[in-house]
Amino acid sequence: MLDWLRLVRLPNLATAAADSLAGFLICWCAAGNVGWPPAACWLAVAASVAFYAAGMVLNDVCDVETDRRERPERPLPSGAIALGTAATVGRGLLTAGSAAACGAAVAAGSPWPAAVGAALTAAVWIYDRHAKATVAGPVVMGACRGLNWLVGMTAAGGPTGAHQWAIPLGMAVYVAGITLYARDEAGRSRAALLAAGAAAMALGLAAAAAHVWLPLSAGRASFAATFQPENWLLLWGVLGASILYRAVQGVFDPVPARVRAAVGNAIMSIITLDAVLLLPACGPRWAIALLCLLAVFLIGRRLVPPT
């Protein structure tokens, strides 16, 4: 079981769930809805988790020859899990994700969750089979994360307005930066590549912050009366600085342990970032509930590594 949990990157599944759940809630709350989210929300979350797990399994299936040289302890090169079995499970998870996205579309009465699920299926397949080793790899991986947000947002009837579109765009760029930063994590990374990855992460964080400052600049903020945008921007800045600080350490000392630590921290922080993005639309209760997914990540990280 631990081999399978390692294959699907158990800790990271919590970040996929956080994206789609936050995406749904942001659009759901912004439309004035209250109460427990409907079935469309949970089907979107299930789709996100299945797509992420499928991507991780098929990633290792496609990389098995490289892993035999660089990471022979992983489940597939070590023989702990048969290659054919992993390929079948990966395709099954991809199918399950598509089915859940279609279910979310039916429950929401909108075709867009199904369309986003189809796009996410294609993006996962393209990344694992063709794009990962190319210059387009980080872009496609970032697109997967942005589409993951959109699965949840479209299930709630969004996104509506440029400020909501800024979130999946910004998080896509942020994850593209993580992917670029982690490209050589198995060996000694190149400082220039790490710096480019850190810069992309910073750009993504700045873009996602437009979720708050775009409405403010237009003078039409619809946040709760108790919400203070200046405090939110300060919180976002401190959180972003803490992530980038670890990344910059890797730039100046690009040893594998430091680079992997920065990558793991940047991935784990996705849950916290999602919770903070949720604050303006839904308030602290849902943000705290989303933040509880950190427990899943931290417990999972004790069992298997996130990268």
Q: How far apart are CA 242 and CA 85, in angstroms?
A: 40
Classify the C-alpha dihedral 255-77-60-17 as positive or negative. Answer: negative
| Domain enclosing residue 130, as ranges | 2-303
Residues of the chain by 3-state class (helix, strand, coil), percent to 5: 80, 0, 20
Predicted structure pTM score: 0.92
124-177 pLDDT, tens digit per residue, is 999 998 888 899 999 999 999 999 999 999 999 989 888 899 999 999 999 999
Identify the pLDDT of residue 122. 96
Q: Are 201 and 145 in contact (CB under 8 A)?
A: no
Q: Which of 202, 213, 123 is nearest to 166 (CA)?
A: 213
Q: How far apart are CA 108 and CA 124, in angstroms?
A: 24
Sequence-distant (≥ 6) Cβ neighbours of residue 30 within 8 angstroms? 158, 160, 164, 222, 281
Return the CATH number at 209. Answer: 1.10.357.140
Identify the pLDDT of residue 81. 93
Q: Which of 134, 126, 214 is nearest to 179 (CA)?
A: 134
32-84 pLDDT, tens digit per residue, is 888 899 999 999 999 999 999 999 999 999 989 888 888 888 899 999 999 99
Q: Give me 275's structure tokens.
A: 């919770």
Q: Give me 132's structure tokens.
A: 């990962």
Q: Any idea which residue has 């307005």 for tokens? A: 161
Identify the pLDDT of residue 223. 61
The count of domains in the chain is 1
What secondary structure letter does DSSP report for 36? S
Q: Any idea which residue has 């395709």 for tokens? A: 91
Identify the pLDDT of residue 227. 67
Cβ-in-10-Å burial (0-12, 13-18, 19+) of 139 comes to: middle
Q: Give me 37's structure tokens.
A: 């989210």
Residue 97 has, within 13 A of its CA and on its CB side, a CA count of 32
Cis upstream peptide for 159 (omega within 30°): yes
Cβ-in-10-Å burial (0-12, 13-18, 19+) of 106 comes to: middle
- Model confidence at 30: pLDDT above 70: yes
193-245 pLDDT, tens digit per residue, is 999 999 999 999 999 999 888 877 766 655 655 567 888 889 999 999 999 99
Q: Give me 46's structure tokens.
A: 């299930």
Q: Any idea which residue has 């903070």 for tokens? A: 276
Identify the pLDDT of residue 110. 96
Identify the pLDDT of residue 190. 86
Sequence-distant (≥ 6) Cβ neighbours of residue 147 within 8 angstroms? 116, 119, 120, 123, 168
Identify the pLDDT of residue 186. 60
Q: Which of 239, 238, 244, 237 is nearest to 262 (CA)?
A: 244
Q: How far apart are CA 301 and CA 189, in angstroms?
A: 23
Per-residue confidence band for 288, with pLDDT thresholds at 50, 70 and 90: very high
